[in-house]
A = this chain, B = another copy of it.
Amino acid sequence: MARIESTLVSVDVLTLRFDARARAVLLAVAPRGSDPFAGALALPGVLLGRGERLRDAALRAVTGKLGLDGSAVTATGQLATFDEPSRDPRGPTLSVALWATVDPAAPASGPIWTPPAEVPALAFDHDRIVADCRPMLADRLWRDVPFTAGLLGREFTTAQALDVTESLTGDRPYPANLGRTMDRVPGLERTEQHAAALPKGGRPPLVWRWTSTG
């Protein structure tokens, strides 16, 4: 009962980065270099090597396909597995979708960064992967500490927290309500410091800091 004909596994990564200047969370896509859909935009993905961990494959995809530094990836996690047999024209391939957060302070040249809600048409079934996974990402914010900390970095302001929440959920909470939400996030501490105000003015926002998580 030797079975050689197993489905190949690819790992496709929803790489998120908070761009403080753009005041938005952006998703990385890159043009494909090789044949199926060469030149078309796609999520970074690699075939899972034998014995390779999903997280390692995701790092390989972010490093190799996006050209980012692996040390800039602050956290990763699973989203879902996509199994339509026709999703890859080369033949049946399973796709395990992972998320990865990139340090907002790290250099980010290489990939094309786009708001997750306005991703251009992508290769394979990557449009569907993005559409299916977006609500899962929104659901993680403020509930999944590694995800949230990875996205916002060690220190951030209330204004940035508002921007991130609006990017992922689609609407901007009241600062007062978001502050109370953040007060309940374990490992997140409201400091006494105020950051600089925005260019347009306004009261300087508070600084928040992670205590436990890196």
Contact = CB atoms under 8 A, between A and B. Distances in A.
Interface stretch (A75-83, A105-113, A118-126, A187-195): A75-83
A214 interface: no
Contact of A48 (B6, B34, B54, B96): B6
Interface residues of A, number: 25
A6 B3 contact: no
Name which of A49, A52, A83, A96 has the most chain B CB atoms within 10 A of its CB: A83
A78 B78 CA distance: 12
Contacts of A83: 53-54
A49 B98 CA distance: 23
Q: Give the dominant DSSP class at A's interface.
A: loop
A5 B91 contact: no
A89 B50 CA distance: 14
A92 interface: yes
A36 interface: no
A8 interface: yes
A6 B5 contact: no
Name which of A3, A7, A48 has the most chain B CB atoms within 10 A of its CB: A7
Interface of A: 1, 3, 5-9, 34, 47-54, 78, 80-81, 83, 85, 91-92, 94, 96
19 contacts: A3-B47, A3-B49, A5-B49, A5-B50, A6-B9, A6-B49, A6-B50, A7-B9, A7-B49, A7-B51, A48-B94, A50-B91, A51-B85, A51-B92, A52-B92, A53-B85, A54-B94, A78-B80, A81-B81
